[in-house]
A and B are shown apart, each in its own frame.
Chain A
C-alpha cells in the first residue's frame, strides 16, 4: 500500500470500517510510514476531541416553543399548502441559521474560558483502563468467570 491509498482509506480505518486485506495492509503501512502515522494520530486526536464535546440538552419545552415561534412568525405560509416552495426556502434558511448559531455557540464556548471538554474525563479513563486491565488479570482466561475474556479496549487514554 502506498501513501495515497492509505490517505484515501484513513477515514474508513479511523471509523474501523476496514476489514481483511485492506485492514492488514493499512496496519502494515502505518507501522512503516512516519508521515501517515502522524496523519492518523492527528485525525484520531481530532475525532476524540469532537467526540468529547458536550451536546447541550434543550429544555423540555424547546420543541413546543420552537414550533409556536415559527407559526407565529409566518402563520399564512405554514397554513397554505400551495406555497410549499416558499416553505422549503424557509427551511433552508432555518438550517443555515441553525448551523451559524451552532458555530457561534461553539466559538463562544471555546473562547469563554471553560475547561477543555476532553480534559476532564482523562483521569476517569485512566481509572477505567486500569480497572479493566486488572479485571483481565483477575478473571484470567477462566471461561467460567462470566466476565468478558478481553476488555480494556474502549478506554483509549491509558496512562
Chain B
C-alpha cells in the first residue's frame, strides 16, 4: 500500500515537473507541444504585455496587459489605444467580468472555464485537418520558443504558426500565412515574466461607484429538437462542413429582445460561431461587427464570426445555405405558422411562400452570378452580404 502511494506521489511529481525537465521541449512531438499550449492552466504565474488585433479596426493593434496565475485566473487590462485604455476583464474561474470605466458598465457572466477544457477534442480534430512540424524557432520577449507550424490539408486554409515558450509551453505568438505569403499576426508578446506569485486582489475588479451591471448565465446547450422549440425554426446545419470544420456545440444565445442559436464550430485550430435567428422585426445591418460575414435565407439570418479571412468566412457560410437549398423544408419549419393541425409547424409547403431562387435574389437586391475565381463561392439561393 505504502509502495503504491509512493509510486503515485512519484508519478504526480514527475508529471508536474515534466514541462521543465524536457530541455528545449524537443522530446515532444509538435502535436504534443501544441496540445500543452492549448491548456487553460499553465504551471507558472504569468505577467505579460501582448499586442493583438484591435477588434474595432482590423489591421491595427491594441496593447493588453495579461496576468494569469497557476490556478487559471486571468486579468486583462487594455493599455492602448486610448479609446479603450482602462477596460479590464477578470475571469476567476467562476465569473467572467468586464468593466468599461468610461460608461461605468460591468458585464458579469458565467466563466467559460466552467465548461470542460476542449483541448483534447480540438487537437484530435486538428490532427485530421493539419499536419504539424517544428518550424524555425525565434526569440520572443527574451524567451526561447518552439515554433509549431500547422500546415492545412485543405489548401484554402492558411498555414498557422504557433510560437510557444519552450520551457513553459505558454503561447507567445500566433500568426497565419496565406498562400500568397501574406502574414497576419493575431497576437504577439512584447514582454513576459513568470512571477513567484500574483496577489489575489489582482483578480478582483474595483469599479467606481455602482456600475450598471449586465448579468448573463452560461448559454444553455441545445440539440436539434430543443433548438426548434426555443427558436421556432430548425437551425441550418450542413451534414459535411467544408475545410474539415465540425460542430462542437449548439447553444442558445439569449439577451433582451435578441435570441439566436449559436453553433460553435471548429477545425481544431480555428474557432467560429454561426449565429442564426429569425429576421422578424430586427434590422440586419450588422456590418459594424468585425470578423463577421452575414447572410440571409428565407427569413433566417446568419452571422458567421471568426478570425478567418473574409473569403473563407464566405465559403464556410455558403455551406449552411447550400444545406438549406438541398433541404428547404428544414428552414420552412417556422413556428409563427403553427396551426391546429400542425402544432409544431412541420408542414413546409403551407408555412411560408416558397420563393424561387431568382425571386429570393431579387427580393434582396442581388443578382445571381458566376464565381469569378475557383476559390470564390457561387452566388446561391440565399445571399452572402458581402463586405469589403
Binding site for B on A (CB under 8 A): 16-17, 19, 23, 27-28, 30-32, 120-121, 123-128, 130-156, 158-159
How many Cβ-Cβ contacts under 8 Å join chain A to chain B?
Answer: 163
Q: Across chains A and B, which 6 residue pairs bring their CB atoms closest together, nearest first?
A: A31-B209, A159-B256, A140-B112, A31-B208, A151-B55, A146-B307
Please, how many angstroms separate the alpha-carbon atoms of A121 and B187 in the complex?
Answer: 31
Q: Is B105 an interface residue (CB 8 A)?
A: yes
**Shortest Cβ distance from residue A37 to the other chain B in the assembled complex, whole angstroms:** 9
Please, how many angstroms separate the alpha-carbon atoms of A150 and B85 in the complex?
Answer: 11
Please, how many angstroms separate the alpha-carbon atoms of A39 and B91 in the complex?
Answer: 33
**Shortest Cβ distance from residue B117 to the other chain A in the assembled complex, whole angstroms:** 10
**Residues of chain B within 8 A of A16, CB atoms compared:** 82-83, 85, 102
**Shortest Cβ distance from residue B259 to the other chain A in the assembled complex, whole angstroms:** 9
Contact check: which of A138, A143, A148, A158 meets B112 at CB < 8 Å? A138
Contact check: which of B68, B74, B100, B112 meets A137 at CB < 8 Å? B112
Q: How many residues of B contact A (CB 8 A)?
A: 73
**Shortest Cβ distance from residue A22 to the other chain B in the assembled complex, whole angstroms:** 12
Q: Is B334 an interface residue (CB 8 A)?
A: no
The reply to whether B286 and A141 contact each other, CB–CB distance below 8 Å, is no
The reply to whether A132 and B214 contact each other, CB–CB distance below 8 Å, is no
Q: What is the chain B residue whose CB lies nearest that of A121?
A: B285
Q: Which of B268-276, B321-329, B336-344 contacts A (4 or more CB under 8 A)?
A: B268-276
The reply to whether A149 and B89 contact each other, CB–CB distance below 8 Å, is yes
Please, how many angstroms separate the alpha-carbon atoms of A19 and B85 in the complex?
Answer: 9
The reply to whether B208 and A28 contact each other, CB–CB distance below 8 Å, is yes
**Residues of chain B within 8 A of A121, CB atoms compared:** 283, 285, 288
6 CB contacts below 8 A, A to B, read: A16-B85, A19-B85, A123-B283, A127-B283, A141-B91, A147-B307
The reply to whether A141 and B258 contact each other, CB–CB distance below 8 Å, is no
Q: A126-B256, A139-B112, A155-B288 are in contact. List 16 more A-B contacts (CB 8 A).
A: A19-B85, A27-B104, A28-B208, A31-B209, A130-B253, A131-B305, A132-B289, A133-B107, A138-B264, A141-B113, A142-B40, A143-B171, A149-B76, A149-B89, A153-B78, A159-B257
The reply to whether A148 and B256 contact each other, CB–CB distance below 8 Å, is no
Q: Is B53 an interface residue (CB 8 A)?
A: yes
**Residues of chain B within 8 A of A153, CB atoms compared:** 55-56, 78, 84, 87, 100
**Residues of chain A within 8 A of B83, CB atoms compared:** 16, 154
Q: Which B99-128 residues have a C-beta within 8 angstroms of A?
A: 100-105, 107, 109-113
**Residues of chain B within 8 A of A158, CB atoms compared:** 105, 214
Contact check: which of B216, B258, B271 meets A147 at CB < 8 Å? B271
Given A131-B292, A132-B55: A148 and B62 interface contact (C-beta under 8 Å): yes
Contact check: which of A120, A126, A145 meets B258 at CB < 8 Å? A126
The reply to whether A144 and B171 contact each other, CB–CB distance below 8 Å, is yes
